[in-house]
Structure 1
Amino acid sequence: MRNLIILSACCFAIATADAKDPPAAAPAPAPAAASGVASSKPATAAPVKPAPRPLTAAEQRIIDEQAELDLQARIAARIAEMRNSQQQRAAAAARARKAAASKKKVEVAVAKPPPPANGTHWAYDGEFGPANWSKINAKWSQCGTGGRQSPIDIRDGMKVELEQLAFDYKPSSFSVVDNGHTIQVNLAGGNFLTVQNRSYELQQFHFHRPSEERINGKSFEMVVHLVHRDAEGKLAVLAVLLERGAAHNMIQTVWNNLPLEKHDTVQPSVVLDVSELLPERRDYFTYMGSLTTPPCTEGVLWMVMKQPIQASPPQMALFSRLYPFNARPVQANSGRVVKESN
């Protein structure tokens, strides 16, 4: 009976609570007592979390402004990162281009050497003078490197029994040309010089002032070079020295037919007897040398007559007006064999 009364009271209390409060989730049942009788302590409901308070307009604006600042900072950082990356790529590309250009220059320098010089203009002084002949044209290299160059200062010649020079000169037609370096006389065929069992045909003769050759250090006012060639193309040059004295008839014939302009040619109707250029005595010096003008070809047999011939001062002055100086300096004579007639 007592238990029934307690159960009725509990039911009344629960009904009263339900009438006052809104419905809620039923609490978990209390554990039964060990004796199987329900506990008389009422159950406690779980606390309800209050709803968040709505933000004011000012608070929302602050939040939006901060979000915008954060976004701008992230954008600026990204742009800076992109620019730095772009600059690094550009610098790397520039280094690569520079390295490629340097490599190309080296390859070009190795693969394509500078073209050889092929100039044609030369002179007796200045930048086109003898010191630079070998640089003006690659084919003139012997002018600077050859070991048997002419002219030379003839000293200490070995006196020996040289064979006599055999001349077969006769009156010939000729032409006179002012070639820009000297007055040159070109001969028709049929004039020969025989020496050392070889026959050389006279091609042309020309003048230098002063003489290119020296004899024991002595220079002469002028010299005439008679250039000969044999059937094999070998050259032999006969040098006849000129000194002041009586007028020379054959030289005057040449002067009478001088061209009026440089590089012009005159072909006279008269003939020329070249034997008039030979001195009375036929003693001579001989050595192996070269042409005294470009291309300075070596292997040329030289014969320098010991006795000069004469030309008058006016005849020499006339040439001097055209070419005051057209002589190559003497070359080194070390180790050169020079022979002279007894």
Structure 2
Amino acid sequence: MLNTDTFLITPEILSLIARIDEFKGAWRALGTLAPERLSALRRVATIESIGSSTRIEGSKLSDREVERLLSNLEIKSFSTRDEQEVAGYAELMDLVFSSWQDIPFTENYLKQLHQILLRYSEKDVRHRGQYKTNSNSVAAFDENGVQIGIVFQTASPFDTPRLMTELMTWVQSERESRRLHPLLIVSVFVVVFLEVHPFQDGNGRLSRALTTLLLLQAGYAYAPYSSLESVVEMNKEAYYLALRQTQGTIRTEAPNWQPWLTFFLRSLAEQVRRLEKKVEREKLILATLPELALQIVDLAREHGRVTIGEIVMLTGASRNTLKQHLRTLVERGYLNQHGAGRGVWYELR
């Protein structure tokens, strides 16, 4: 079984947990935004999460391309592997967000979630929803989606079923005993899951979706409104280093959990910091902007970038009125303006 008696709870780890839990407790007060504002925040975070999580694994789609693809998901036909992976991840995240309370954390359900993740991946038909039958490894990719090296050799196909049963039993036991803080349980699950790498493909993406599921089930209700995946993508080198430093010790008598715990909790704290900033910005916007200006900000948030023509079409407002509002939004720092004349477009600052 996993040895977590070697946890070294440093002052930084205690401080990070306290910071995250403080925000968790304050979320009800911070989350008093109107439902449509919360919905807009979640949509942006979801696009960022899907884009970042698939890019970590080598996808080349930008957030803008992900947003465009998500708006046409009903077509159920995707020409590239990147598109197939984005569609599957989007469907899985939608399920996690809508049904997290009803998803038992068991091996059978993990396999079902994996099946959803790879639903549209043509090359993964044979092994979706099944533990691996061939050896695999954790690979690192650069910003162009090119594999730059092997991070860690993973468990053998023979050992995988036993190790996954041990891991899931450990999670269930620790949840029931409440001996460990929930964030420590989530952290250990993620690093051990990736050390085992139980499926032939999709382990990284699934681990990040499962992180959100476990956070929601532990009461961290803010998780869908700020992208943890984008934090990891921004710190990819540190992510791979922390994985390698801890994973190499997991099966020893004295596992070194420290590198991964510190990275994981710092990432959660950064997720919280970003969301706090977004919420404060939302409150300021609500308090100071007229309704049409709010609509413009929402459109820029949802679409990534917007032109005057698109705003006219979506709001029905006159071009001259919109120009006045856009000028004000740029001057007050809510939007950035790019280009000039007919080619001008706007995005959130």
TM-score (norm 1): 0.21
Larger C-alpha radius of gyration, 1 or 2? 1
Higher helix proportion (structure 1 or 2)? 2
